[in-house]
Amino acid sequence: MIAMARAELRHRLQFILGLPALRDGPLWRAARQLAAPVMISANALSRWRVDANGLRHWTGFDTRNLRLVGQRPVWLDGGGFVAAVRYREFPWGVDDYLDLCAAAPWRGFFSQDWCVEPQITHDRHAVLDRMSGTVRLNVLCRNGARRRAIEDRFCPVLQGWHPHDYLRCLERMPFALDYPIIGVGSMCRRPVGGPHGILAVVDTLDRALAGERVSLHLFGCKSDGIAALRGHPRIASADSQAWGVHARQAALKAGHSKTDAFLACVMIGWYRRQIAALARPDFRLAPNPGCGPQPDTEPMSPIEARIAAAAEELRRLHESGELDWNAISPLDAYAFAFLDDDDAGIVDDDQLPDEPSIPA
């Protein structure tokens, strides 16, 4: 009986509480009261200045409260989703981020990555480009962590939308298997079930990682997804800051201002409900749902196939560090596909397809 209880505890998913800031106040004290591990986004530590034209400029990370990191288990997230939604790119560089990683005793820090949720990526090409960007960021973050002697706390991150995308990402960064925890991105806006759901992604990765001593962390996983996966032997942890949504709704309904004290009260109740759901004893690991075939690809004309092959070559060059991130756009792939023919004077302009549109 004791052995069974220990095995259940070992496989119980750890819930990490997302906080919007790192400062000693009601929210931090509430997390300490809950004995909750904490996740902080790099963006939460960003400093900005506004110039004479009203434009905001990133000026570095605020390190004044990093002393708090030694008081509780605190994880650091690279802030990729916020960077994509608010800024369309990272305001900070890899070295800036890794200096922050080295500046405090984080329990662990995750690689920077490019998320691929549908509200960010407008087509399949954008998903593939951002996956290649994620591979390159993982390489840079791992190498930088090694130089700073903090590699023991580095956690790689996989990206994708279709479950098989994560396998493509993993195949291009096999070094991820050297680390005990791998982050799984683009979880927060994803359904639980279905061919692109959380369960399908976890199942696909679990099968691919059979025999590997590697666990997964799910970024921003919704409550029903966390509850569905509790007890899964492959899942180490998941984080969420969804209590902020509950707090906004509660404040609006009650006519309260969102003071930190009010937010802390909502957060405590919300966190306790998540923990109670994870502790329910009726869980049984469901049969593997499978994820179906890989994404369908429409038939392509010879010219479209040539452009697609050029785009893939540019992604490979970026992953190996030979091209910058801003050099693998659809327009770059279009130009690269016909570079040799154009130099030789073989292809006339009227033979080429229309230039691809660039997603806004």
CB 40 within 8 A of CB 16: no
Question: What does each of the 360 residues of the chain score in pLDDT, given as a tens digit?
Answer: 323 333 333 457 899 999 999 999 999 999 999 999 999 999 999 999 998 888 899 999 999 999 999 999 999 999 988 888 888 889 999 999 999 999 999 999 999 999 998 888 888 889 999 999 999 999 999 999 999 999 999 999 999 999 999 999 999 999 999 999 999 998 987 889 889 899 999 999 999 999 999 999 999 888 888 888 888 999 999 999 988 887 888 777 777 778 889 999 999 999 999 998 888 766 555 555 555 556 656 677 777 777 777 777 777 777 777 667 677 777 776 676 676 654 444 444 454 455 455 444
Cα 264 to Cα 262: distance, rounded to the nearest angstrom: 5
DSSP E strand boundaries for the chain: 14-19, 38-41, 46-50, 56-61, 74-77, 108-110, 154-155, 157-158, 181-184, 215-218, 235-240
Full strand arrangement of the beta sheet holding 215-218: 154-155, 108-110, 74-77, 38-41, 14-19, 235-240, 215-218, 181-184, 157-158
Give the DSSP per-residue string, 112-148.
P-----TTT--SHHHHHHHHHHHHHHHHHHHHHHHHT
Angstrom distance (rounded) from CA 257 to CA 263:
9
Residue type present at position 102:
A
β-pair partners for 40: 19, 76
Based on its alpha-carbon atoms, the radius of gyration of the chain, rounded to whole angstroms, reads 22
What pLDDT does residue 339 have?
A: 67
String of DSSP letters for 281-309: TT--PPPP----SPPP-----HHHHHHHH
Cβ within 8 Å of residue 3, ≥6 positions away: none
Q: What is the CATH number of domain 2-278?
A: 3.20.20.105
> DSSP letters of 251-285?
HHHHT----HHHHHHHHHHHHHHHHHHHT-TT--P
Per-residue confidence (pLDDT) for residue 23, from 0 to 100: 95
Residue 55 exposed, middle or buried by CB count within 10 Å (0-12, 13-18, 19+):
exposed
The whole-model pTM stands at 0.82
Rounded to whole angstroms, the Cα distance separating 90 from 229 reads 31
pLDDT score of 288? 53
Give the amino acid at 59: T
Take residue 248 and report the two structure tokens written for it.
Answer: 């906004």
pLDDT on residue 298:
66
How close are the terminal C-alpha atoms of the chain, in Å? Answer: 58
Alpha-carbon gap, residue 203 to 218, rounded angstroms: 13
Q: Quickly count helices (H) and strands (E) in the chain.
A: 13, 11
**Which position has the token pair 């154009």?**
342
Helix (H) or strand (E) holding 227: helix 223-229
| DSSP code for 93 | -
Choose among 307, 315, 257, 255: nearest CA to 130.
315
| Distance, CA of 83 to CA of 273 (rounded, Å) | 30
* Domain extents in the chain: 2-278, 302-351
